[in-house]
């Protein structure tokens, strides 16, 4: 017999073990399990059980998501989704997502977001790629900057002593960054105090005295040649001076041959600090996937570049209450009986929601039907933001 339900307190450790094995192949220690369980939301953790055994997991996290214009929308962060290899292609993922979507609507969350471990899964559930992210590689020998950088106010700190400071910097950065989410004080204590998994390098943190930026990184060295690599885990800066100083610090750490960073913004400014812009190698991939759970509410929560009118037809098989036609005019959205200038799936609209994907791009790809000439260009202007969306914090 198979059943989907919320987990009881004594089932949470099994959830943590299954998630860790699915994503890292490593069984966490009891100490690691206890640390992780402190930051999850037990009442939003789901499990599929077959004959009493846990065979699939999913969790939802309440996350404030920054929109173009600086408004925040309560978003349902879909996370910790696993299905045992023995139970694939049995509809378990669909079952869990159905429950998560319904729960999110009850919670008043008009948007759902996630990071996808596989790119071919979530499009069929109405999610679209709303942000891009870049993986960077910079060889230290080629990392000279065009201009000298003042690094005098940088300090190495103990993470457990500065969790509050890091949270304040990250919150201020998120307020100005479309696509960013804000994490709780409990989460920040966890990431700064949790023990490193067995064999993992320690995380080191550098903060500016001005408290306008920080970087968290790990170093790996290989004796006896003492070659090494530095991995930037998170770098956030509230000023150009902090941004330049923190990157220069990472590129100057002794015994490192190169610096790598995952999940950075696709338009990373670092390239333009380098004397040789080609020194920054970059590969771009999908960041957060987004779907609208309540189209009218979500479209009314973001701001628009002007008061122009555009009429959108939305098709949504997974959330059929969204299907219909919406007019955006004067910065407001409402349902309408007018003929749509653009017709699209929920996934296409989700991709465009944060302004990082252009309607005209998706029309060219055949994902949007432009029924009125110029409608895609008008929608591009309407949804455009001054900053490319990016989500610095994974969930």
Long-range contacts of 320-326, Cβ-Cβ distance < 8 Å, separation of 24 or more: 321/294, 322/292, 322/293, 322/294, 322/295, 322/346, 324/295, 326/295, 326/296, 326/299
Q: Is 49 a catalytic residue?
A: no
Secondary structure class of 156 (helix, strand, coil)? strand
Per the annotation, the verdict on 214 as an active-site residue is: no
**CA 74 vs CA 71, 84, 169: distances in Å:** 10, 31, 20
Which member of 15, 115, 122, 359 is catalytic? 122
15, 318, 326, 395: which one is catalytic?
395
**Alpha helix segments (H runs only) across the chain:** 12-24, 30-37, 92-106, 163-175, 185-193, 240-252, 295-301, 346-352, 359-364, 375-383
On whether the CB atoms of residues 340 and 308 are closer than 8 A, the answer is no
Environment class of residue 121 by beta-carbon count within 10 Å: exposed (0-12), middle (13-18) or buried (19+)? Answer: middle
Active site residue ranges: 122, 395
């Amino acid at each position: 017999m198979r059943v989907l339900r919320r987990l009881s307190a004594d089932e949470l450790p099994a959830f943590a073990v299954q998630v860790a094995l699915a994503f890292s192949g490593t069984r966490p220690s009891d100490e690691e399990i206890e640390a992780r369980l402190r930051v999850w939301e037990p009442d939003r953790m789901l499990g599929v059980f077959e004959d009493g055994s846990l065979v699939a997991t999913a969790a939802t996290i309440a996350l404030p998501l920054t929109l173009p214009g600086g408004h925040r929308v309560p978003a349902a962060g879909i996370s910790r989704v696993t299905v045992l290899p023995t139970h694939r292609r049995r509809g378990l993922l669909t079952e869990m997502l159905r429950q998560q979507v319904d729960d999110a609507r009850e919670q008043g969350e008009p948007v759902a977001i996630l990071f996808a471990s596989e790119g071919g899964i979530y499009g069929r559930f109405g999610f679209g790629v709303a942000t891009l992210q870049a993986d960077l590689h910079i060889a230290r020998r080629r990392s000279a900057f065009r201009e000298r950088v003042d690094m005098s106010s940088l300090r190495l700190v103990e993470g457990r002593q500065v969790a509050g400071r890091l949270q304040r910097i990250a919150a201020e950065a998120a307020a100005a960054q479309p696509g960013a989410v804000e994490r709780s004080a409990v989460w920040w204590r966890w990431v700064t105090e949790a023990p490193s998994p067995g064999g993992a390098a320690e995380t080191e943190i550098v903060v500016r005295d001005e408290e306008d930026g920080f970087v968290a990184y790990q170093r790996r060295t290989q004796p006896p040649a003492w070659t090494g690599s530095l991995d930037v885990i998170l770098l956030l800066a509230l000023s150009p001076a902090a941004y330049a100083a923190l990157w220069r610090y990472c590129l100057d750490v002794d015994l490192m041959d190169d610096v790598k960073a995952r999940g950075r913004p696709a338009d990373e400014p670092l390239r333009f600090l380098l004397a040789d812009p080609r020194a920054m190698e970059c590969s771009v991939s999908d960041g957060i996937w987004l779907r609208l759970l309540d189209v009218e509410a979500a479209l009314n929560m973001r701001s628009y570049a002007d008061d122009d009118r555009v009429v959108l037809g939305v098709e949504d098989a997974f959330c059929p209450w969204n299907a219909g036609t919406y007019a955006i005019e004067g910065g407001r959205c409402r349902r309408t009986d007018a003929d749509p200038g653009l017709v699209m799936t929920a996934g296409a609209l989700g991709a465009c929601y944060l302004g990082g994907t252009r309607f005209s791009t998706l029309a060219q790809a055949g994902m949007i039907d432009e029924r009125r000439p110029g409608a895609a260009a008008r929608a591009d202007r309407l949804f455009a933001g001054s900053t490319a969306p990016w989500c610095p914090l994974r969930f």
